[in-house]
Amino acid sequence: MPDVFDILRADHREIEQMLTVLGGDTTQASPDGPMRPETRKKLAEKLTIESAKHEAAEEEYFWPTVRDRLPDGDRLADHAVDQETAAKQALARLDRLSPDDAEFDELLSEYIPAAREHISYEEGTVWPALQVQLTAAEAEELGKNIASAKKIAPTRPHPRTPPDPNLLKAAGPAVAAADKVRDALAGRGEN
């Protein structure tokens, strides 16, 4: 059974692939020609949706475990949640921009290295410390909770919602349902 690290790692690799494509030189002709602005917008939407679900699940289950199980868990979690809050603000702004706006590329060029740094902070600093604290059964259980939380997580960044685990667990499904209605109306997240 996959454990928490397998599940989060799969998300990280998927997010990194999107960052690589979005960070690529758009003027350079690939075999398919330069990426069309609408394709970049769709990819940015997919990145936003996947990141929103991933970070919500981490905030509900992963960071509370880090706080609970590691002696310096609060410090580690606070730093990560600060990075996640900054990312949500950037993605919420990106969501409102057209790929033709100059700010779209400016924002992406700031967001991409920050997102990579956040992933490497989690995997390089936090995971090794937590891996030695959790039993295999606990790591699997946490993975199960994260996978379930992602299924009912918001699909839009909500930078003004405090990243409080209990609040997210209580309000998350209703917020997620409202997000999905807005997604459907906007054709967001569809290929």
Report in angstroms how near the CB of residue 191 gets to Fe ion at its nearest: 24
Nearer Cβ to Fe ion (116/180): 116
Q: Which residue has the tokens 């609040």?
A: 167
Segment contacting Fe ion by CB under 5 A, of 36-44, 102-110, 118-126, 132-140: 118-126
Give me the sign of the Cα torsion angle 125, 80, 59, 93: negative
Segment contacting Fe ion by CB under 5 A, of 41-49, 71-79, 122-130, 143-151: 122-130
- Compute the radius of gyration of the chain from its Cα atoms: 17
How far apart CA 173 and CA 144 sit, in angstroms, is: 17
Report in angstroms how near the CB of residue 109 gets to Fe ion at its nearest: 20
Report in angstroms how near the CB of residue 28 gets to Fe ion at its nearest: 30
Q: Are 65 and 103 in contact (CB under 8 A)?
A: no
The vertex-53 CA angle with 48 and 57, nearest 5°, equals 145
Nearer Cβ to Fe ion (35/155): 155
Report in angstroms how near the CB of residue 129 gets to Fe ion at its nearest: 15
Interaction between residue 60 and Fe ion (CB under 5 A) = no
Interaction between residue 3 and Fe ion (CB under 5 A) = no
Report in angstroms how near the CB of residue 39 gets to Fe ion at its nearest: 25
Q: What are phi and psi of 41, to 5 degrees?
A: -65, -45
Nearer Cβ to Fe ion (35/142): 142
Q: Buried b / exposed e across 57-75, counting CB within 10 Å, b at 16+?
A: bbbbbbbbbbbeebeebee
Nearer Cβ to Fe ion (99/143): 143
Interaction between residue 58 and Fe ion (CB under 5 A) = yes
Nearer Cβ to Fe ion (26/70): 70
Please name which of 91, 110, 103, 101 lies closest in space to residue 43, comparing C-alpha atoms.
91
Write out the residues near Fe ion by the rule CB under 5 A. Answer: 58, 122
